[in-house]
């Protein structure tokens, strides 16, 4: 048996469904099913019973589950014991951070690294990817998954984006508000150059609801979060924000959910594919745990 097979088996059992486990492991459902089938064939027993509502563990599967968890725990202990022999850089973890992360994401992840000093840099997605490839960052949190085999990535946050509106306008439009009801207002946008794929996705959604995207923001004009409030409170503009926007809102501004949740913002953890740093692996694992536990918004 291989560690990856045991991890796949435990993930399926804990998720209760092949499809859900596949999403968590970031593999296709057919590939995960083949892994489980190969494990059953190798052991000569049936581990899971597939049903229309998910999977059920057989007696043999229940036995393996306990053993697999013990093996994986021991595997993690072995990796931790070897960490002192692994190159970990200078004890400093350089992390790229975008604006508007869920407020509890980084604290919960960094709690797993009590002996590591973290240097955080606020950078756009494009700038983070460039810094990763230049060796100036160890891990980045970006809003679009980079292409190419030189960087590994895993999805760590999904957010159903809502909209910031002037309080009187929010009361008039109701909650949730439909995107098409924002017609005539100006979108408080960000420079496309900082995150082209995310900008294009947003622009396409707005256009599909009959909204005018407006002129592109100049590349040199950085998005300053604090400017969203005065731009919106005047009543002529709207801005997108996650439910737990980590900034205080005055009485003149309201956050309102969007009907049908048409906009979902994703954040990936990205790191060099050749990295063997234990602190990077621990940091990414903590981010994945945060997402699996449903702590993100």
At 30-75, the pLDDT tens digits run 888 999 998 998 889 999 998 888 899 999 999 999 988 888 888 7
Between 260-264, 279-283, 291-295, the lowest mean confidence (pLDDT) is in 291-295
The correct CATH number of 92-296 out of 3.10.20.30, 3.40.50.720, 3.40.50.300, 3.40.190.290 is: 3.40.190.290
Q: Which of 292, 296, 269 lies closest to 282, judged by CA? A: 269
| C-alpha radius of gyration, the chain, whole number | 22
**What's the average model confidence in pLDDT over 191-196?**
89
Mean pLDDT of 243-263: 90
* pLDDT value of residue 240: 94
Outline where the chain has alpha helix (H).
3-15, 18-25, 29-43, 59-82, 105-110, 125-133, 167-173, 196-208, 228-233, 278-292
Q: Give the up-direction half-sphere exposure of residue 81: CA atoms within 13 A in the CB hemisphere.
A: 6
Domain boundaries defined on the chain? 3-85, 92-296
pTM as predicted? 0.67
Distance, in Å, from the CA atom of 14 to the CA atom of 150, rounded to the nearest integer, reads 31
- Distance CA(13)–CA(19), nearest Å, equals 11
Give 3-85's CATH code, choosing from 3.40.50.720, 3.30.565.10, 3.30.300.90, 1.10.10.10.
1.10.10.10
Asked if the domains at 3-85 and 92-296 fall in one CATH topology, the answer is: no
Contact by Cβ (8 Å): 259, 162:
no
Q: Residue 32, Cβ neighbours under 10 Å: how many?
A: 21
Burial environment of residue 57 by CB neighbours within 10 A (0 to 12, 13 to 18, 19 or more)? middle
The percent of the chain in helix, strand and coil, each rounded to the nearest 5, is 45, 20, 35
Percentage above 70 pLDDT, the chain? 91
pLDDT at 297: 33
DSSP state of 85: G
- The backbone torsions φ and ψ at residue 57, rounded to the nearest 5 degrees and listed phi first, read -85, 135
Please give the residue that has the higher pLDDT: either 87 or 255. 255
pLDDT single digits (tens) 80-115: 655 544 444 457 899 999 988 888 888 888 888 888
Share of the chain above pLDDT 90, in %: 49
13 pLDDT exceeds 80? Answer: yes
């Amino acid at each position: 048996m291989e560690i990856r097979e045991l991890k796949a088996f435990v993930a399926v059992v804990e998720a209760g469904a092949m499809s859900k486990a596949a999403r968590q492991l970031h593999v296709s459902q057919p590939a995960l099913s083949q892994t489980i089938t190969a494990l059953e064939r190798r052991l000569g027993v049936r581990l899971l019973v597939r049903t229309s509502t998910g999977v059920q563990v057989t007696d043999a599967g229940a036995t393996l589950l306990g053993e697999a968890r013990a093996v994986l725990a021991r595997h993690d202990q072995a990796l931790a014991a070897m960490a002192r022999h692994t190159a970990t850089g200078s004890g400093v973890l350089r992390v790229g951070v975008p604006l508007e992360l869920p407020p509890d994401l980084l604290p919960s992840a960094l709690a797993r690294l009590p002996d590591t000093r973290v240097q955080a840099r606020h950078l756009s997605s494009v700038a983070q990817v460039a810094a990763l490839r230049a060796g100036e960052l160890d891990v980045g949190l970006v809003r679009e998954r980079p292409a190419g085999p030189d960087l590994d990535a895993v999805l760590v946050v999904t957010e159903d984006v809502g909209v910031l509106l002037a309080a009187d306008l929010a009361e008039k439009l109701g909650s949730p508000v439909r995107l098409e009801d924002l017609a005539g207002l100006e979108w408080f946008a960000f420079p496309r150059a900082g995150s082209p794929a995310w900008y294009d996705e947003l622009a396409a959604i707005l256009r599909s609801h009959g909204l005018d995207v407006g002129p592109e923001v100049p590349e040199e004009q950085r998005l300053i979060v604090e400017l969203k409030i005065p731009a919106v409170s005047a009543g002529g503009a709207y801005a997108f924000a996650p439910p737990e926007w980590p900034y205080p809102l005055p009485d003149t501004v309201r956050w309102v959910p969007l009907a049908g949740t048409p906009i979902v913002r994703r954040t990936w953890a990205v790191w060099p594919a050749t990295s063997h740093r234990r602190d990077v692996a621990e940091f990414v694992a903590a981010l994945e745990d945060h997402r699996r536990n449903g702590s993100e918004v």
